[in-house]
A and B are shown apart, each in its own frame.
Chain A
Amino acid sequence: MPKLVIEDLHLRYGPVEVLKGIDARFEEGSVVCLLGRSGSGKTTLLRSIAGLEEPYRGAIRIDGRPVYDAGARVNLPPEKRDLGFVFQSYALWPHRTVFENVAYGLRLRREGKAEIAAKVQTALDGVGLGALAARYPSQLSGGQQQRVAIARALVYEPPVILLDEPLSNLDAKLREEARIWIRALIKRRGITAVFVTHDQSEALAIADQIVLLDGGRLVQSGTPEDLYERPETAFASEFMGSNNTLTVAVEERREGRVRVALDGHSLWGLDRRQGPAADGSAKAVIRLEAVRLAEGPGENRLPAAYETSIYLGSQFEHLFRCGDQTVRVLSDRRATPGPHWLECPPERLWVF
């Protein structure tokens, strides 16, 4: 049985429809990323799960128990849902010490004094802050505050923890470390985590399941590999990774494959169109790293004129021109001016 189920969830702010019917199920013990641009509804969905926003239709169930169900008129207040929540700004209470911040949830659950002290200490040790219990939040660095916020959300052992862009206030180096230890911490505890981010590389790194949202709707849900390698829509394919998006003319469709023309050259690609076939022009997407520099003409290759390069450190990014369209290619070799051949493997050229 899935841990967390969301059914046909609708929410609006005044006249603006923010969530337009979200259906999703999250398995026990998995780390789920809600991914999307700003305004996609990902934070609103997270806050709805926590009970901080009120949807008007649909249902949210945790362990089969409805915490919100419009049909049954169930809407538990946040404090009855027994969840952990880590805010983007951390929301540590500035008038309480680190210990008191973490202990508050236990005090509300009327635990004994000794038990509270022990649990808080364990939680703080778990995030590597055991020695800082007596400090006030203002005396901590951003990274330490984030750890306190996580300890505060985990200390009363909620079955589900919700994190709203918890890494966005950290600098780049700290962010990369944090996503590794947060994932390790959640996995060690075996709890279900729902994690909001707008950063696709963060989502790929941290998640067991990614839920991609756009404009208040669910675009695609699956493993990071599913989303990166098998995007179902043009939006999903373009949102993940770095891509070349090309306008092509459809020539022939056969058994899930499609032959398209780009600047007069034919290429085979995967037919990813949804709904009825529209003839004429289509959108082809290929990841930068999928395009290969080839020595000469051949199957699924097309001629291109070299324009310029930028050096990225680990490799080069070259810019080529095919007719009136540009194609970017990653390569560990320098390229020289003049004509080149680019190979686009058919299984990695997606035509929508």
Chain B
Amino acid sequence: MPRALRIAVVLATALLILSPVGLVIYQSFLSGPFFQPASTFTTQAYEFVLFEEDDFREAFVNSAVIAAGMTAIAVPLGCIVAFLLVRTDLPGRRLIEPLVLVPMFVSSVVLAFGFVVALGPVGIVSLWVKGLVGAIPWYLYSKTSLILIAGLTHVPHVFLYASSALRSLGSDVEEAARSAGAGPVRVALTVSLPMIMPSILYASVLVFFLGFELFGLPLVLGDPERIIVLATYLYKLTNKLGTPSYDLMAVVVVAIILVTLPLVYTQRRLLAAANRYVAVKGKASAQRPLALGAWRWPATGLIVAWLCVTVVVPVAALVLRSFLSTWGEGVSIWDNLTLSHFRDLMGYPNLVRGILNTLLIASVGGALSVAFYTLINLALHRWRSRWTALMDYLVLVPRAMPGLIAGLAMFWLFLFTPVLQPLRQTLFSLWLAYTLVWLAYGMRLVSASLLQIGPELEEAGRVVGARPAQVSRDVTLPLIRAGLIGSWVLVFVTFVREYSTGVYLLSPGTEVIGSLLVSLWGTGAVDLVTALSTVNLALILVGLGLMFALGNKRHA
């Protein structure tokens, strides 16, 4: 790519990243909405939110407590699951391994609905247990439950990093411990896990950071007892004072980014450290699984129990509920099976549009996003320049923006910029917000493919007479084609799952399943919510099936 084009791409990306953030910061110092000429510069909003608003303080403390609590649950459990699946002869581990990642692919509002339908005060499982023992031994809407569920659903994030680190560890260190007389538990605790400490540390910071971003789970599970966290506080703020208070929302957004940005930066540093650590002793030759002996059954039981609580029970209950005409104490499942909710769904034009829009934005939009991520990657590809370093830091900014915030900032940007105004109520605004939110993720997907190409393949193109653009077209892109298709499938699933980014951008014409679910939940339309969630799950299943098929083909 010619240098001028590279710089243009970097500048355009910087504009896309920085203008929404800049607008939010600008708004946070205004006395009224940015579109009102009467607004003046002031720090009023900061003073109000930070010093006078008790709800904000409560939300902040709750977020911190929940983030810490879920980290304390997810990290040990994720490490144990990773150790069991990667390093031991656990029965059925080949079957279990792909299932462990499933919670990452299901949208967390959908999971939250599932928990309500299964384990809520009149949940399907709750009532069944009540029939057996006479009472429900848990209460779903407490802070403890919220922390527990958040922790359990974030086990896959820890698993992902811990398992890849464990895979690159030679098994000789474990065998040495075994022959010195240590049992499997001792081996895990004293040898394997300490050796992958940098990866675990990285995963811990990641989960803690995701804890601050939580939106779907506290929105659904925290609402009955008014447990608010930062994201739900922001969401509620829209209507709290009667009129949308732009200045206050902007301050909350700035506050959230001020918390998440350092966390993202720390992650970046830790990831680099973890990679260095692994590279030093990347002797992954001939791994022999550790024999668990008598531990194998309790270990399998633990993983199966986790899978049941986190995935099977909520998803099964949700799907079941979408086929039940009604539910409550004394209602029989068999007598009430129906398809009417899905028929009803088809009767609402906005819901039908939502499903079609979701498909459109995930497939066509996803492809366009991958194209955009590829363009940025090609612009930075093999370019030793300060611009590349700048871009490295710039992509941290969207990572620090939870979907809800990015959607809000994008909404304001479309209000603020005259040329963009006509596009505000089109799918373009939504696509741009999605692309921005998943920028760092998508760029990593594409760059992983680009890193596989030896530089001399491209240099060979230049030497035989191809201009940089011709090399990109004739050599680089064809070589990463399989990787790009894989990235597109992952982005497809991600966009189908996304629910928070579209919340503020929801308008006639820009409905997607995720944002519709959030707003429908507020109205209490459980039948429609469960039916729409089931459609969402089905779409994700299609995506996962596609991924699986592609993965298998690449192995063949």
Contacts and interface: CB of A to CB of B under 8 A. Distances in A.
A50 interface: yes
A82 B462 CA distance: 10
Given A91-B454, A93-B475, A104-B474, A85 B460 contact: yes
B556 interface: no
B475 A108 contact: no
Nearest to B471: A79
Contacts of B465: 79, 82, 105, 108-109, 156
Nearest to A47: B459
B11 interface: no
Interface string A308-325: 000000000000000000
A108 B468 CA distance: 12
Contacts of A104: 461, 464, 466, 474
Contacts of A84: 463-464
Q: Is the interface of B mostly helix, strand, loop or mixed?
A: helix
B478 interface: yes
Contact of B467 (A79, A94, A152): A79
Interface string B393-426: 0000000000000000000000000000000000
A78 interface: yes
Contacts, number: 66
Interface residues of A, number: 26
Given A104-B474, A108-B470, A91 B464 contact: no
A43 to B, nearest CB: 11
B52 interface: no
A237 B315 CA distance: 78
B479 interface: yes
A83 interface: yes
Contacts of B461: 93, 104
A83 B456 contact: no
Nearest to A100: B474
A198 B337 CA distance: 79
B479 A94 contact: yes
Contacts of A91: 454, 456-457, 459-460
A87 B460 contact: yes
B301 to A, nearest CB: 47
B459 A79 contact: no
Contacts of A81: 463
A156 B466 CA distance: 13
A79 B466 contact: yes
Contacts of A85: 459-460, 463-464
Interface in A69-101: 77-79, 81-85, 87-89, 91-95
A50 B463 CA distance: 7
A194 interface: no
A206 B402 CA distance: 63
Nearest to A152: B464
B463 A89 contact: no
B459 A93 contact: no
A9 interface: no
A63 to B, nearest CB: 17
B474 A78 contact: no
A111 to B, nearest CB: 11
B454 A78 contact: no
A153 B464 contact: yes
A89 B454 contact: yes
A93 B464 contact: no
Contacts of A78: 459, 462-463
B526 to A, nearest CB: 52
Interface in B457-500: 457, 459-468, 470, 474-475, 478-479, 481
Given A91-B454, A94-B479, A95-B478, A108 B464 contact: yes
Given A91-B454, A108-B470, A83 B478 contact: no
A83 B459 CA distance: 12
A79 B463 contact: yes
Interface in B425-477: 454, 456-457, 459-468, 470, 474-475
Contacts of A109: 465
9 closest residue pairs by CB, A with B? A105-B464, A78-B462, A91-B456, A85-B463, A91-B460, A108-B465, A87-B456, A79-B465, A95-B478
12 contacts: A52-B459, A78-B462, A79-B463, A79-B466, A85-B464, A87-B456, A91-B457, A91-B460, A92-B460, A93-B475, A95-B478, A105-B464
